[in-house]
Structure 1
Amino acid sequence: MSLLEVEDVVVRFGGVTAVDHAGFTAEAGRITGLIGPNGAGKTTCFNVITGLQKPNHGTVRFDGRAITRLPVHRRSRRGMGRTFQRLEAFGSLTVRDNVRVARDIHRGIAGLVRPVGTDVDGLLERVGIAAYADERADSIPTGVARLLELARCLAGQPKLLLLDEPSSGLDESETQAFGELLAELAAEGRGIVMVEHDMELVMSVCDDLHVLDFGKVIASGPPAVIRADPAVQKAYLGYADESDDTQVLEAIS
């Protein structure tokens, strides 16, 4: 049984179909990439999965149970964590306090609702931003803020991480370290679903890929298969040339 199942989801905004009968899965202990050109419907799918967007049709299952009608906070309590394309940190709080707030929210009143034994400074160390612990969140670089969002997600000890453009703002060495961190998190049994435009990162860390184009899933499979798929090449580049996969990958990235 898959940790996450998205089945036949449709989202319409007026006369525009943003997600068109999309379906895909994500497994525990694996990194799944959700990729596609700008406007393909990737973030809308994330919004449906996390409860920010009600679908016109379709079903979302998490850990074997239908959650399509559940509100956001109940999905979070079941073990779902998300970062956003637009940074959502509390700017007036320090980096440490941002993570502490996330921990306390998940812990609940006096720790009675959902006990969480999270080490805040340990999380900052793990994602590589301990040096910024006492800095205000509105003063840190964008790449650090991305990692802060990841630390806040981890404070809730999620089973599933949904990461929207998580490497944006990271330099090459930071991106490499981030990819290694994702692999470690997945190895601990978490499911990770990532919307990402850095194709070098996607192809190096993802176990499975689902490609969206105009709201439809046009291809699913391991990175090597996706890279050679003519439909994927056409979606990104407007044409398919199976003779030069390397050139296609460079163009996509």
Structure 2
Amino acid sequence: MKLRRAPAGILAAGVLMAALPFLKLPAFYESFLYLALFWIVLATSWNILSGYAGYFSFGHGAFFGAGVYTSATLAGKFNWPFLWTLPVAALVAALIGLGIGAVVFRVRGIRGELFALLSLAVTFVVATIIGNTPIDGGQGVYLNAVPVPKIGPGPNSSLYLLMLAAAVVTLLVSWAIRHSRFGAGLFAIHDDEDAAEVMGVPTYRWKLAALAVSCALAGWVGGIHALFVSYVTTSEIFNLTVPLTVVLMSILGGTRHWAGPAIGAVAITCLLFSFTGGEYAVLGKGAIGLILVVGVLFMPEGFMGFRAFKRSPRGVAGSPPPQAAPSKGRASAPGTVLLEVKGLSKSFRGIKALDGVSLQVRQGEILGLLGPNGSGKSTFINVVSGHFLPDGGEVLLDGRDIAGLPAHRVARAGIARTYQIPRPFTQMSVLDNVAIAAMYAGEGLPSMEAGRREARQWLEFTHLADKADSLPGELNLHQRKFLELARALAGRPRLVLLDEVLCGLTPTEIQSAVEQIRRIRDQGTTIVFVEHVMDAVMALTDRIVVFDQGAVLAEGAPREVMQSPAVMRAYLGVAHA
């Protein structure tokens, strides 16, 4: 019930603010509130992609401008009813965003600074196209003759009410995404996109969806603003003011909270009105710059992030539900072949990391994967889990070839993995780290609530229940390794690939981990176990496969394989006596 207070509050505030034009207040208040709402929509819509998913964009002005010119052209040149132009403005902006994202998001290397610079370039490209075509032609577009829809008592109040409606819808959309399965996937992308993909998050589709929503909202507010300014030119619309201002507002308020950009927008709008008029213009600009510097230095998560940190205790979980034994995954008959790899190969710049690897993994077994450093073990896991595309060969899961599938589809098929160096989502709680896998991997769960319920079972299973509300950075190495296990198991996989989960642990911790791995197998999960701790390998594994220089050197029962002269030379570095 507490979670539902926010949308109720947004709607209530919207209703109260909608009554203001009928109170016959001075026109200043409508103009001020219009601009505050205008920036709320722009900052909040920017945050859906850049704040939630972490794809920092300086190109928001391009989508806003596309909406401005769509409404201006349709209403000013083709005499469309103004309200009819607004959904078209949103659609045009969304289509432009989707067209760009469909190309850019397929290139794995375009992230961070490169994406920010590319998005900035998009603004100038769109401005150049519009300015050199009949859309604008260098003369601008006039909307003086376009009638303002009669929604309020007067033209200004009608525009204010249109912007208020846009702000209410935008805040509701942002809140809904923030607390949804979709939003959790965006936050996982923000923290570690590759790990999110391996855990089942369809990162490409989710980024496209976030970009489309962000652009549509920007286009909508652009359409309204075109009538507000009544005369639009490329030099005024496509400048750096919009992207830089929304970035400042979002950072100041907090990008990981749905209300953060709105709070930042109101604060900056008040400062602009307070300081940037008359003799205080220079002082006002300096104050805004100082606020940004102070915010970045002392509140990097913004006001809402700082407030949440001060108010939320860490490391104290609520009373967990009674421990429930995790259910088994989809079962095949013990001993049947679950995974079969045929002729798998992978090269990096001419160096063969995998050279025609063929092996089988049987249902219900623990298969040890051994070999010296650089022999191809981690590459094998990366290829099977979908992180790397193979150069050749087949990866058959229950007879179905999954080689070359995106990592999220491999996770959905029932294969999970851990990382040698833990890669948790650093800004999400331990509970939500596990809930991501519960929602997206395997058959998946439909909501955050269901994902968290499932996650609590696996935190109990891995003895991390008392750390549910902690951040991963507050865990020691042993606990972070067990968090990796909990995330891998939360999707109830059929096959788990464990990549050196014992590395860096003390002997006591290793013994605890070994017992945990036995419990995992007892639940019906098949395990591929990559490890250098030989005592654990000999104690746990049913069979061993040894890699050397990207190829299978030996396989069979553990003691027989480890006594092989070839294995002793390659793996232990000694001659067989």
Q: TM-score range by the shorter chain?
A: 0.7 to 0.9
Q: Partner of 2:333 in structure 1?
A: none
CA contact (8 A) 2:366 2:526 kept: yes
AA at the equivalent of 2:438: R
CA contact (8 A) 2:431 2:452 kept: no
Which 5+ residue runs of structure 1 have no aligned equivalent? 243-253
C-alpha distance in structure 2 between counterparts of 1:154 and 1:191, whole Å:
11
Q: Secondary structure at the match of 1:3?
A: strand
Deviation track 1:209-250 (CA, whole Å, cap 9, x = no partner) reads 1000111110001111112111110012333224xxxxxxxx
Q: Partner of 1:181 in structure 2?
A: 516
Q: Secondary structure at the match of 1:143?
A: helix
Counterparts of residues 137-216 of structure 1 (less than 5 Å): 137-216=472-551
Q: Partner of 1:31 in structure 2?
A: 366
C-alpha distance in structure 2 between counterparts of 1:105 and 1:146, whole Å:
21
C-alpha distance in structure 1 between counterparts of 2:421 and 2:532, whole Å:
15
Q: Secondary structure at the match of 2:346?
A: strand
CA contact (8 A) 1:102 1:152 kept: yes
Give 1:178 shift: 1.6
Q: Secondary structure at the match of 1:183?
A: helix
C-alpha distance in structure 1 between counterparts of 2:462 and 2:398, whole Å:
26
C-alpha distance in structure 1 between counterparts of 2:485 and 2:507, whole Å:
18
Q: Partner of 2:456 in structure 1?
A: 121
Note if 1:60 corresponds to 2:395.
yes
C-alpha distance in structure 2 between counterparts of 1:81 and 1:117, whole Å:
18
AA at the equivalent of 1:98: N
Q: Partner of 2:438 in structure 1?
A: 103
CA contact (8 A) 2:456 2:465 kept: yes
- How many residue pairs match? The answer is 239
Q: Partner of 1:80 in structure 2?
A: 415
C-alpha distance in structure 2 between counterparts of 1:100 and 1:110, whole Å:
10
From 539, 542, 558, the counterpart of 1:223: 558
Q: Partner of 2:471 in structure 1?
A: 136
C-alpha distance in structure 2 between counterparts of 1:159 and 1:58, whole Å:
22
**32-41 or 45-54, which moves further after superposition?**
45-54
* TM-score normalised by length of structure 1: 0.88
Note if 1:91 corresponds to 2:91.
no
Deviation track 1:112-153 (CA, whole Å, cap 9, x = no partner) reads xxx979632221121122232222101211121111011011
Q: Partner of 1:248 in structure 2?
A: none
Q: Secondary structure at the match of 2:492?
A: coil
AA at the equivalent of 1:81: A
Which 5+ residue runs of structure 2 have no aligned equivalent? 1-335
CA contact (8 A) 1:127 1:147 kept: yes
CA contact (8 A) 2:366 2:543 kept: yes
Higher normalized contact order (CA 8 Å, seq sep 6+, divided by chain length): 1
AA at the equivalent of 2:358: G
Q: Secondary structure at the match of 1:233?
A: helix
CA contact (8 A) 2:347 2:353 kept: yes
Deviation track 1:88-135 (CA, whole Å, cap 9, x = no partner) reads 101122212211232233435449xxx979632221121122232222
Q: Partner of 1:251 in structure 2?
A: none
CA contact (8 A) 1:32 1:206 kept: yes
CA contact (8 A) 1:6 1:60 kept: yes
C-alpha distance in structure 2 between counterparts of 1:146 and 1:117, whole Å:
20
Quick one: structure 1 residues 108 and 130, their matched pair in 2 at CA, closer, same or farther if it must change by over 3 Å? closer
Note if 1:12 corresponds to 2:347.
yes
Deviation track 1:173-227 (CA, whole Å, cap 9, x = no partner) reads 2211221221222233211001111111111101111000111110001111112
Note if 1:232 corresponds to 2:567.
yes
C-alpha distance in structure 1 between counterparts of 2:477 and 2:552, whole Å:
31
Give 1:154 shift: 0.9
AA at the equivalent of 2:544: L
C-alpha distance in structure 2 between counterparts of 1:96 and 1:130, whole Å:
8
Quick one: structure 1 residues 6 and 138, their matched pair in 2 at CA, closer, same or farther if it must change by over 3 Å? same
AA at the equivalent of 1:182: I
Give 1:25 shift: 1.2
CA contact (8 A) 2:347 2:354 kept: yes
C-alpha distance in structure 2 between counterparts of 1:74 and 1:68, whole Å:
11
| Larger relative helix fraction | 2
C-alpha distance in structure 2 between counterparts of 1:237 and 1:206, whole Å:
19
C-alpha distance in structure 2 between counterparts of 1:158 and 1:144, whole Å:
21
C-alpha distance in structure 1 between counterparts of 2:368 and 2:529, whole Å:
5
Q: Secondary structure at the match of 1:119?
A: helix
CA contact (8 A) 2:418 2:488 kept: yes
Give 1:159 shift: 0.4
CA contact (8 A) 1:31 1:183 kept: no
Give 1:37 shift: 0.3
CA contact (8 A) 2:412 2:440 kept: no
C-alpha distance in structure 1 between counterparts of 2:509 and 2:457, whole Å:
19
Quick one: structure 1 residues 237 and 224, their matched pair in 2 at CA, closer, same or farther if it must change by over 3 Å? closer
Q: Partner of 2:17 in structure 1?
A: none
